[in-house]
């Protein structure tokens, strides 16, 4: 019981601090009695607030040094123009190849990274600005370009869908022209 009394007293002090004035009375045997109500022989005491600690906000872990992360946040560069050819909804009939190109204004900065994909698959060398698609199959194809700065922040993203037509005897691309009849 004696062991739990100090815990109870401390708990009373903490609770009473939040709620009201705390009073203390020293007994004849030297022990102290605490209360949140006035008591005979008790005196109000001023309890200091409990010391507290707030942890600093968590920062996302990264393999890059902190200075490099901060520089990445400062780099607010944007290209005035970022486009890809062929233009969206372009149509090709029986092409042997289709040239694909990325155009930026101003010109691509040397440390920016270009990722060029055709139908979701990366094509060409990393950083390539042009690619020739060969062979070209019938149907619709999507070209996408993403340019990131040296800190991995995306600064340009653009896509385009083009269509390839391959007419056949079953599905001709032009109307039938009457053939001359032999005499």
pLDDT tens-digit readout, 50-71? 788 787 777 665 677 777 766 6
Q: What pLDDT is recorded for position 46?
A: 82
Find the mean pLDDT for residues 6-26.
63
The pLDDT value given to residue 17: 46
Span 20-43, average pLDDT? 88
Whole-model pTM: value is 0.53
Which pair of structure tokens corresponds to residue 117? 């994909």
Pairwise CA distance, residues 113 & 150, whole Å: 7
The more confident residue out of 91 and 176 is 91
pLDDT in tens, 118-140: 999 999 887 789 999 999 999 99
Q: What are the structural domain ranges in the chain?
A: 4-45, 74-165
The pLDDT of residue 53? 79
Band of residue 152 on the pLDDT scale cut at 50, 70, 90:
confident
CATH number for the region 74-165 comes to 2.60.40.10
């Amino acid at each position: 019981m004696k062991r739990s009394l100090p815990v109870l007293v401390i708990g009373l002090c903490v609770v009473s601090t939040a709620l009201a004035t705390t009073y203390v009375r020293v007994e004849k045997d030297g022990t102290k009695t605490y209360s949140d109500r006035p008591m005979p022989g008790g005196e109000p005491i001023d309890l200091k607030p409990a010391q507290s600690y707030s942890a600093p906000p968590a920062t996302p872990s990264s393999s890059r040094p902190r200075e490099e992360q901060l520089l990445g946040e400062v780099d607010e560069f944007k290209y005035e123009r970022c486009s890809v050819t062929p233009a969206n909804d372009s149509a090709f009939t029986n092409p042997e190849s289709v040239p694909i190109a990325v155009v930026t204004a101003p010109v691509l900065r040397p440390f920016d990274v270009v990722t060029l994909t055709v139908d979701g698959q990366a094509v060409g060398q990393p950083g390539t600005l042009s690619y020739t698609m060969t062979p070209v199959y019938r149907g619709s194809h999507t070209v996408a370009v993403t340019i990131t700065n040296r800190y991995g922040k995306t600064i340009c993203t653009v896509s385009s869908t083009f269509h390839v037509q391959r007419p056949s005897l079953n599905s001709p691309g032009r109307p039938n022209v009457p053939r001359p009849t032999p005499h």
